[in-house]
Structure 1
Amino acid sequence: MNRQWQLARRPVGDPSSGDFRLVETAVPELAASGSVLLHNRYLSLDPYMRWRMNDAKSYAPPVAIGDVMVGATIAEVVQSNDSGFEPGTLVLAGGGWQDYAVAKAATLRAIDTSVADAPAFLSVLGSPGFTAYAGLMKIGMPKAGETVVVGAATGPVGSMVGQLAKRLGCRTVAIAGGGEKCKLAIEHFGFDAAVDHRDPDLAAALATACPNGIDVYFENIGGRVLDTVVPLLNDFARVPVCGLVSQYSDEGSYPDETRLALLMRDVLVKRLTLRGFIVTDFAQYRDEFIELAAPLVAKGEIARLEDVVDGLENAPDAFLGLLKGRNRGKLVIKL
């Protein structure tokens, strides 16, 4: 049988376990040529999944009620109608929250576990790592000596941004939730400074950490943190907007437009580059990223941290914890 976590209802505000439904269905069968039957081994859990639970216009369609929750997976090929993928091959796929999935061979990417273990391909060598690379290098374009501030800095995207910026000679400042994560940002991921976004005097703490202002702000949080960052942005600063995790469960618009008005004024006066992006916008640079990152990961020059939770049955609880910031590293479910 194939266990699946389906979307049972659309959450209002913060999601709960009742928004998901675990069902058992038959293992899917291959039909069309060029398709592959996959047995999912690892499932990536990421904040964007909360956005996909909403029935709202976005960069990707929402998950329909009764459909399997979406997600990247490391999977083993079980059966194949494509000569490029033999049974037993490990691939990076989009198998979702389930044990088995059928995928088009053209959407799969074989992984090389001689470089790193499988979870790394859902972390530093997967979409989070590539997202960090694309947003920082193609939008942020940091230069040696500049200050790069990273929201959600101990997460899989933010931690990679910090390490890449540091290798370019930038001053790196982490924004993280709580003293433990701030310590992790400095001691494990090598940031020069870290600021707790829960600090009631966040503005003063961030200004102290950025005495020369901010040249690149890699946005993963939004809300109050963005309010604090904007006054510190230097002329011609760049803001790759990757995520807004603090706003994914917002039930409506802001009570007024002050925040947006102030931000747009600064975009004009300071000539800022403020660009939202989705990692697929930069698909043509994936090989370039792997060529850079794979040797660094293999040699241990890129720090990683994954929180691996055993059992598909634990996916919803782990996901809810992720949205509350209870994970320390990249959250992965081992099926």
Structure 2
Amino acid sequence: MPADNHTFFYPVTYILTGIPGTEESHVWIAIPFCLMYVVILFGNSLLIFIILTEQSLHEPMYLFVSMLATVDLLLSTTTVPKMLAIFWFRAGEISFAACLTQMFFIHVSFIAESAILLAMAFDRYVAICDPLRYTIILTKSVIGKMGLAVVTRSFLIIFPLIVVMKQLKFCRTNLLPHTYCEHMIIARLACNNIRVHIWYGVAVAILVIGLDVVLIAVSYGLILRAVFRLPSKEARIKALRTCSSHVCVILMFYVPAVFSSLAHQIGNIIPGYIVNLLANLYVLIPPMLNPIVYGVTTKEILKRVINLFYRCWSRSSVPS
């Protein structure tokens, strides 16, 4: 249809409709989502508090874990409260500016988390493959610069996307069949040619996320080679144990995120409810499980969590 036959408009508001086809179950779907969000807030906040207040945990690995927990809080807090408002109160209305802002922080969080996982893989590589130079290579100054690089890279990748999004002209519905504002879902409502948006998403997926995955895989390939060259079985097991939590977090993050991203790029091939489910999983499951994984598998963190709860219980049990 020729563009001239369209009535173009710039949407003042969008309406987020939630998960299409499940409207009657929205109230019940929101209950586990709310419980997961409570776990996310409590677990990640506790993790950040323990790492920042315990001087002995001011080491590269734990500082990276605190960065990961911060990004998880940002990602979930950007999406879940609005999601719950949609499910419980049908409050799906969101302004165009707020929608772009939400989209910006969602994608920035995703890119930042990928970069932090890469930094953590580098940390494990140095710790196992070059332990004598570990404290020399990964100083607090270097870690601070790496954190700044993570933020800068994420901003520079996503900000141009926001600028391009504001140039779109809309002539279709302002209903977004989703629980939050996502790049391709908004772009598909435009009457412009969105080929640039599709290729930009593909380029980010391959050149940014794909490169992070490749570098993480290379790091762990070198780690495994070094581990299996260790003379004793106990040393090999100890080295592998230090990497187990990170590998679990990597899998929990990339598997749902990559499938969700690909599903949005290839359009209607995959049913909408599956795309929506994957999209919700990647903003809920990794942020919820990350502090649990690190709390259970990392003895230093687990010990301090137990001590913290023991002190709190002791104080509350002392009669006034």
Return the index of the structure with the highest Cα Rg.
2
With structure 2 as the length reference, what TM-score do the two structures score? Answer: 0.27
Which one has a larger percent strand, Structure 1 or Structure 2? 1
Larger RCO: Structure 1 or Structure 2 (Cα < 8 Å, ≥ 6 residues apart)? Answer: 2
With structure 1 as the length reference, what TM-score do the two structures score? Answer: 0.26
